[in-house]
Structure 1
């Protein structure tokens, strides 16, 4: 699925919200490695589950071809600084659902990019008839949890001791979901 490019005037920065093209694959591959190394809020550590540029090209192509998938990037001054991907479920019993995630370079946290990505994911899911979107978030990422709650997400459960961070401690994962207003 493709959306039109949107110029966003955010908190102290201007940026572009758009869908990626195959020319973005190399930059996205590098960006994902960088973001994985900047935070423990995501599932991967630096260098794990690498996605090559060819892997990103395939994802970009597949998402463009599928009605129930969308891939968005945030571009500041010609550089991609974050992205969000929402993937609809293809199984008949779960076609009403989709899962998504948001990744933003640490340097760009606090500028409202995550909020805009989330707003656009929600608008898109409501438009294409996805009735429920869900995500997992580490329990210590309280800013993200607060943002999701402001947009109608509820905590559906806690996965206890679900992950181990570099400090050797276990952390819980919060499962969150949002039902469409059109439901």
Structure 2
């Protein structure tokens, strides 16, 4: 699914929202490793991102060809500073109306409106793809993300008390959220 839009951040800085291409594979992998190391709110540790650049290139090419999935990168001055994805929950008829949404933004760029812009872009793409329900999972103590998703109308429909198990032996809860569009 194709997406491209020139937008402005809260401070007036121009930002490009676009599909990452195969040429972005290395930059996107580096982005994922950085964001995974900046916060515990993401699913993986940086050392768990073992995808080779060629595998990422193929994945990005595959994503670009799907009519019901999209990946959107936020690009500032040629650098990926945010990334969001929308994928089907399942390909079967009974679940075809549901999509899964995930997002991350470089910590240095938190509070600039990138998450808001990416969420808007994902919801536009979801409507274009014909989805009726968008789902996500967010750590229960990620208050910034919760506030953002609630601003868009997402509602908590469940809590997984032991969603994340950390290497230090602790657990963290996550909220399951959905939005009907």
Q: What range is the shorter-chain TM-score in? A: over 0.9
Q: Distance in 2 between matches of 1:71 and 1:42?
A: 17
CA contact (8 A) 1:84 1:103 kept: yes
Matched, 1:146 2:147: yes
Using the TM superposition, give the Cα deviation of residue 92 of structure 1 relative to its aligned residue in structure 2, in angstroms.
2.2
Partner of 1:107: 108
Partner of 2:65: 65
Partner of 1:126: 127
CA-atom RMSD in angstroms: 1.3
Using the TM superposition, give the Cα deviation of residue 150 of structure 1 relative to its aligned residue in structure 2, in angstroms.
1.0
CA contact (8 A) 1:33 1:50 kept: no
- Which 4+ runs in 1 deviate beyond 6 A? none
Using the TM superposition, give the Cα deviation of residue 49 of structure 1 relative to its aligned residue in structure 2, in angstroms.
3.6
Instruction: Extract unaligned runs of 5+ from structure 1.
Output: none
Alignment of 1:26-175 (within 5 A): 26-88=26-88, 89-165=90-166, 168-175=169-176
Normalising by structure 2, report the TM-score.
0.94
Deviations 1:97-141 (A, max 9, x none): 110100111111111001000011111111221011101000010
Identify if the C-alpha distance between structure 1 residues 49 and 91 changes in structure 2 by more than 3 Å, giving closer, same or farther: farther
Instruction: Extract unaligned runs of 5+ from structure 2.
Output: none
Q: How many residues align?
A: 179
Q: Distance in 1 between matches of 2:106 and 2:47?
A: 16
